Structure 1
Amino acid sequence: MRYVNPKEQQNIQLILFVLLCVFVYFIPRWTHGLKLRHRSFVIWWAFIFGFFYLIIQGLAGLFFSFGKSPFDQHFLSILKNCFTFGLPLICRELVRSYCINGNPHGSKIRTSILLIGIFTILEFTLSKYSGITTFQEFVMFLGQYFLPSLCKQTLLTLFAFLAGPVPAIIYSLMIEFPPYILPILPDLNWLVSAFIGILTPIFSIIVLQALAKKELKQPVKAHENENPLTLTITIILSIVIIWFASGVFSIYPSVIATGSMEPMIYPGDVILVQKINEKNIQLLKEGDVIQFQRGDILISHRIIELVHEHQQVVYRTKGDNNSSEDSELVTPENVKGIIKHVIPKIGWPTLILKQNNDVDTGDLEF
């Protein structure tokens, strides 16, 4: 994950939340619906969920990569960052808890939903929103920033709803402070960041709700009697499928649109492509079916000859169903991967959608 130091956001949030906190200090204290024993229970689980989040981040860093923190690691700079980010964080949670619990006659549910939306929007500067110019940037913003923030704010609001500001402050400090005090941080792509940022709070919310009902000995309605493990597994599988389709793993799917590789591959078949790196590209040989890029087009053809050209090996390719070889040689940097498996016909819905959008299938895959 790449962390950014938004000074504009620091100053605005610091002023805003300090003023709100001062306002909260001078108005009557709120009361919680939970007894002290139950509030201690929620605080303890806030610490566990924060620790769980850090473990997931660390494991992801080991699996993918780590990078150097962009923040100054001198002692005085760390203290400054702790003050600059810690004070508005604490003020934010005090304000959140008062708004939810301060008015005994108001609707806590409606207030909680409103706060989730407000705090999610305020977490990003105007420049962050105005910098979105393409659909891809919009999807990346949703996945890497907005949806994880929405899930986090939902969990923090649940903490405040159940036990006031303390568990929300503990959880926030645990997940938001490491970037400012640690020299090495997980360096994750946006899909992995989205996976962790969305799934971890959702899992925590499900577990916390189940534990709170058990602790308070509340009867569970029939439609609420859901297995948290089943829901969590469903979420994980859904995100893994999205990852797989997006090419995060070493094997990714691709839909074939033409019949140049018949009878091995027919239009509408899905191929599973094993990604090629600098090491295993040297193992390619005649007879392998590879996927390579030519301009904006992905092509899947068979290698018919290895050609030594300009002190490197390039590949002459041909579709099994074509009468002649391809007009251009394929260079190593254009090779995307080698075809490992073919799944018949399941790609037809994709081809139909492409045709409905007036996309020439001849420009998609050969």
Structure 2
Amino acid sequence: MVIGIPREVKDNEYRVAQTPGGVSLLVQRGHRVIVQAGAGEGSGFSDREYEEAGAEILSSAADVWTRSEMIVKVKEPLPEEYPFLRPGLILFTFLHLAADERLTHELLRRGTTAIAYETVELSDGRLPLLVPMSEVAGRMAVQVGAHYLEKSHGGRGKLLGGIPGVRPADVVIIGGGTVGINAAKIALGMGAHVTIIEKNPDRLRYLDDVLSGNLTTLASNPRNIEDSVRVADLVIGAVLIPGARAPRIVKKELVAQMKPGSVILDVAVDQGGCVETIRPTTHSQPTYLVDGVIHYGVTNMPGAVPRTSTYGLSNATLPYILHLADLGFEEAVSRDRALAKGVNAYKGHLTHPEVAAAFGLEYTPLDRLL
């Protein structure tokens, strides 16, 4: 199979879909890999390293897209990349379609086979391709939030961990999944008072068992959310419903009751966000104010630490890329139910129920189309 790796075009996105090591393995298995010139520079990988791994370097994105049977990326295609989408092309990347109606329609209209990293799902419900980036985003959320709590960056001027005799900051994490537990580890390690709000009682018990420090766990209900968010210095949104739009848990009326200079960082913004006042932002313009509260809605947070993120993501995606390349799309998804769940669009049909529900479109089970 001919596999293409274009340079990412999202604002300040420095990750790349595969390392030279991953490319080398693909080439050893008999596949041809095409890499756009400069694609790996942001992550510290030179064109020469890719060439030594057996890749062919092409200068333009158009050449990479048009000559490839499968495109592997990090982030969803942007409008300038839509013309490259075509029938029969396999696109394997983060898509987050439930929050992107325009891209959804483009993929359907152009007949692209679209597989989303974030909806590849194992039988036990784990999301193996989302986990590494959720780990990065959860850990980053605390250090970014601490940065914006500093007075020089518009915050309340609070040190996350406080000092002896002075109260630490109150960090509220909504959602106890991968993002939530990683955010909690860092915040607790820095000495903050951490409240995790989670709807699953068994998950709350697990979090209480494995985390130590100044921790409070609360069942998710409107009263607990309101009481916690109102007094928080930093709120981290970490809610996930695989493939679906995130529910709006923190309402704008509650945001208006928060203290001026407090910070909201919604990691769920990729899926629409769990805070009603959040909207997507970029690394170039990461924050804005609503009712005196700093909002951070960068949709590609892990792109700020691309060396770590690229290794973490490529370690997880490479086995699936090899599976698709070795067997071809139909055989690969027939054999691997987790990969099949990652398919969001195929032959002009929506094949993920949550994406279809988000826009009131028809859902077609993938099995009917194979």
- State the TM-score, normalized to the length of structure 1: 0.21
- State the TM-score, normalized to the length of structure 2: 0.20
Larger radius of gyration: 1
Higher helix share: 1
